[in-house]
Amino acid sequence: MAMITLKKLKYFESVARLGHFGKAANECAISQPALSMQIQDLESDLRVSLLERRPEGIILTPEGLEVLTRARKVMLEVDGINSFAQSLAGLSGTLALGVIPTIGPYILPQILPCLATQYPELKFTIRETQTLRLMDELIHGKVDLIIAALPLDDNAIETMKLFDDRFLLATSKNKITPPAKHLSRFIASEQLLLLEEGHCLRDQALNHCDVAGIQYGEIYGTSNLSTLVQLVANDLGITLVPELCLEVEANTKKISLTRFANPQPYRTIALAWRKSSPRAKHYKEIGEIIKALNLI
């Protein structure tokens, strides 16, 4: 009789998701030969080939795709059992929190100590990456909660608004910045610096420019806010920065900050979790704790 274990399914899911045995072995904290042997055992148990092994990586067979779908359902159910047991006695154990890079450095140092005091039996693990990847990991049970900017459009996800984070225009002190009502023309005449593609903050900034009818030319992208601010400080362009990051990133005498005229552009920061999670009540409590901190 086939011995299909949860461990083998987890190993297979990791290989299928990452598309690489070495990366999956590193994620699972196991040697690559041992991981490969576990996958072979799973294929032997099921009497089907799950993967096509190629020099450039792996692809799933049709049978592998079906097993992957079912394996993920099994893993979510097991996680649900664990979460249900933990929910009966309050929050304890480990909670995987995902956060996007344009929020994490500015919010985690404030909320984690507070949550540690409120939930002394709870240990947080942190995952920082871009929104789309976080949503995928949330849906598939890799993280339990995420903090990101709306919209987070997926029927499997429930969201709770935390606060609105307004944008300000950041320029070098060497530039003469016009009053708020004339910012559109000013932005159109300058080099606009934004985060690289894939960051929701970039999309939100460009959306504001489009809605406001602001023209912009070629856009240079960087991977983090700190680099953007340093480029602006050295008079290499201008950018839009969220209010949340000002204390950390804009604490320099080389930067001028200007608020936009009303209605000011903003992003909405939210907490999100799977609708199916039995810990939903506790996640809402965490959301209320964060909101009470009045981070902006």
CATH number, domain containing residue 127: 3.40.190.10
Same domain, 36 and 176: no
* Confidence (pLDDT) at 140: 87
Domains identified in the chain, total number = 3
Contacts of 266 by beta carbon, 8 Å cutoff, 6+ apart: 164, 165, 166, 167
Q: What are phi and psi of 160, to 5 degrees?
A: -135, 120
| Band of pLDDT at residue 193, cut at 50, 70 and 90 | confident
pLDDT digits (tens, 9 = 90+) for 143-159: 999 999 999 989 999 99
181/171 Cα distance (integer angstroms): 16
CATH number, domain containing residue 64: 1.10.10.10
H-helix or E-strand spanning residue 122: strand 122-128
pLDDT at 81 over 80: no
Boundaries of domain holding 54: 6-82
Same domain, 130 and 144: yes
Same domain, 146 and 280: yes
17/2 Cα distance (integer angstroms): 24
Of the residues 21, 49, 82, the one at which a domain ends:
82
Same domain, 46 and 31: yes
Q: What are phi and psi of 119, to 5 degrees?
A: -125, 75
| Band of pLDDT at residue 135, cut at 50, 70 and 90 | very high
Nearest to 260 by CA among 274, 240, 284, 246: 240
195/239 Cα distance (integer angstroms): 9
Q: Are 194 and 214 in contact (CB under 8 A)?
A: no
Same domain, 99 and 227: no
Same domain, 11 and 39: yes
From the number of C-beta atoms within 10 Å of its C-beta (0-12, 13-18, 19+), residue 88 rates as: exposed
H-helix or E-strand spanning residue 165: strand 157-172
Of the residues 47, 63, 82, the one at which a domain ends:
82
Quick check: helix, strand or coil at residue 111?
helix
Same domain, 278 and 262: no
| Band of pLDDT at residue 90, cut at 50, 70 and 90 | low
| 159 occurs within a structural domain | no
Taking phi first (over 0 means left), then psi (-120 to 50 degrees means alpha), and beta for anything else, what does residue 29 get?
A: left
pLDDT at 132 over 60: yes
